[in-house]
Amino acid sequence: MKLLHVDASAREDGSHSRALSAFFVSELSQRCSELSVDRLDLVKQTPRHFGAMEAAAVSISATEHTPEMREAIADSDALAERVLRSDVIVIGTPIYNFGMPSTLKAFFDHISRNGLTFVADANGMKGLLGDKKVAVLSAAGGGYGVGEPFFGLDSLTPHTAAILGFLGVTEIDFISARPMMFASVEAADAAMKAAKLEAEALARKWT
């Protein structure tokens, strides 16, 4: 099983989402001796935000690319290839300002490529990643459930589900530890413990 492990938290130390995604990958590793992990840390390998040259390149056929376009789109090609090589994708991410970090949005911009991860033609649009499983493990400072301070403000989950669904992914699991910051130590510990139990169950399901 080839796994692409993506982490998006800006915090390298003390990150709850990094701890949760690492725990899940560890659980998978213990259950699958043939697991191969491709690690993508969006802090250390930060994707560029799309500029004019990248936008121009993805709007036309690769056969029409100028040398400048090929250079501009090289990183995007490489990221898309890493996604295509994977069997499963694990994403660890915090919620920043009710949504995904800008680095994760840039990652999705790079891998959403007509002709590579989806096809748009006269017959309509079709995602090409339907054979992949994806787990999104997130952590948030506040609570987003009914009656909690940030109820209704979680845009990370629907946004991520929409992008992956467009790319054809049908098996997406979301596991979240929250609240972590705006909570007592006991409540934060309980939230992480509950999330890890979900992660253990999902690891058993995947393997």
Residues in binding site = 9, 15-17
Element spanning 172, H or E: strand 171-177
Amino acid identity for residue 115 in this structure: G
101: how many CB neighbours lie within 10 A of its CB? 20
CA dihedral in degrees (113, 203, 97, 191; nearest 10)? 170
Residues in binding site for FMN: 9, 15-17
| Phi, psi dihedral angles at 120 (to 5 degrees) | -125, 115
Instruction: Give the span between the Cα atoms of 190 and 119, in whole angstroms.
Output: 43
Q: 16 in helix, strand or coil?
A: helix
CA distances from 33 to 1, 27, 30, 86, 137 (A): 9, 11, 7, 16, 22
Instruction: Give the span between the Cα atoms of 70 and 75, in whole angstroms.
Output: 10
Q: Are strands 2-7 and 36-41 parallel, antiparallel or unpaired?
A: parallel
Backbone CA torsion sign across 118, 121, 123, 125? positive
